[in-house]
């Protein structure tokens, strides 16, 4: 694809050494599939990130998944994997866990999750197709496999919110999913802290779902040139309305990143210092 005209993109291309490239995982680096455990990375992602990472200040994946799950799903048969991307940082569970240089750091999980694990099966009984995903530091209720996914999701919103309140957790809505997780961290806070840590001079964030709106907000308030990119879908339109650039799902994300690499490779682009 051809990069659109945008001041944030121009800043990233002219000074890649100061740029932080932030990326969601599901729906951005991998397609949305009925079984989240099968959401393997787009085959073009590890290679394009491996080419991009040495040119920029940092590549960071900010996801609701545990970092090790993203790494396991980030393996491509016969090719590079996410773990092969030089300097990659993964901020999992919305920033509560961090994977970097092969090391995982995280606080202890909140006790309210055990209460949720015990109550959710009863709460979802009778809704055929509902699947409960235990993410260690969060629990997600998926309705994509239901005969009426949207209807099942709507029926669960109130009861799940009440359960989260009892457990001292918050609910993160998404594409046919309600996730119960600890309060106090979101993708925006995680991205803002990372930008400050790396003294970024520009930023791009690419996402696809409602949880990525907070990261878009971090781009808007960072005080540096930035660009918000939506990995577009028909299920979520709120991101497209806030985005500077909209691409066609993970295919479009790979094409956009590949074009960035090409533009940065021109003699006028500054190499990473």
Q: What is the C-alpha to C-alpha distance for residues 129 and 71, in angstroms, rounded to an integer? A: 27
> What's residue 110's pLDDT?
81
- pLDDT tens, position by position, 124-158: 998 999 999 998 888 999 999 999 999 999 999 99
Q: What is the C-alpha to C-alpha distance for residues 59 and 57, in angstroms, rounded to an integer? A: 7
Low-confidence ranges of the chain (pLDDT < 70): 1-2, 266-273
Looking up tokens 């989240």, which residue turns up? Answer: 36
Q: What is the DSSP letter of 232?
A: -
DSSP per-residue string spanning 74-94: T--TTS--GGGSTT-EEEEGG
> What's residue 271's pLDDT?
42
> What's residue 1's pLDDT?
64
> What's residue 273's pLDDT?
45
> What's residue 201's pLDDT?
98
Give pTM, 2 decimals: 0.84
Of 186, 268, 200, 187, give the one whose Cα is nearest residue 58: 200
> What's residue 266's pLDDT?
64
Angle made by CA atoms 190, 246, 195, in degrees to the nearest 5 = 20
């Amino acid at each position: 694809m051809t990069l659109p005209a945008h001041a944030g993109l121009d800043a990233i291309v002219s000074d890649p050494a100061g740029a932080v490239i932030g990326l969601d995982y599901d729906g951005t680096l991998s397609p949305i599939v009925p079984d989240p455990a099968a959401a393997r990375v787009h085959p073009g992602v590890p290679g394009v990130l491996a080419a991009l990472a040495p040119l920029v200040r940092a590549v960071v994946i900010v996801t609701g998944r545990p970092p090790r799950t993203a790494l396991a799903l980030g393996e491509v048969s016969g090719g590079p994997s996410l773990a092969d991307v030089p300097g990659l940082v993964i901020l999992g569970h919305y920033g509560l866990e961090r994977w970097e240089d092969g090391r995982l750091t995280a606080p202890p999980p909140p006790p309210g999750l055990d209460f949720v694990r015990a109550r959710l099966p009863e709460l979802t009984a009778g809704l055929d197709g509902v699947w409960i995903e235990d993410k260690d530091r969060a629990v997600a209720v998926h309705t994509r496999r239901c005969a009426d996914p949207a209807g099942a999701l709507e029926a669960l919103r109130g009861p799940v919110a009440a359960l989260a309140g009892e457990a001292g957790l918050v609910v993160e809505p998404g594409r046919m999913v309600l996730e119960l997780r600890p309060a106090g961290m979101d993708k925006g806070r995680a991205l803002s802290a990372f930008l400050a840590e790396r003294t970024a001079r520009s930023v791009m964030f690419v996402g696809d779902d409602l949880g990525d709106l907070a990261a878009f907000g971090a781009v808007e308030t960072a005080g540096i040139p930035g660009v918000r990119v939506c990995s577009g879908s028909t299920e979520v339109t709120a991101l497209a309305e806030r985005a500077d650039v909209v691409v066609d799902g993970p295919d479009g994300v790979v094409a956009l990143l590949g074009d960035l690499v090409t533009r940065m490779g021109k003699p006028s682009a500054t190499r990473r210092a």
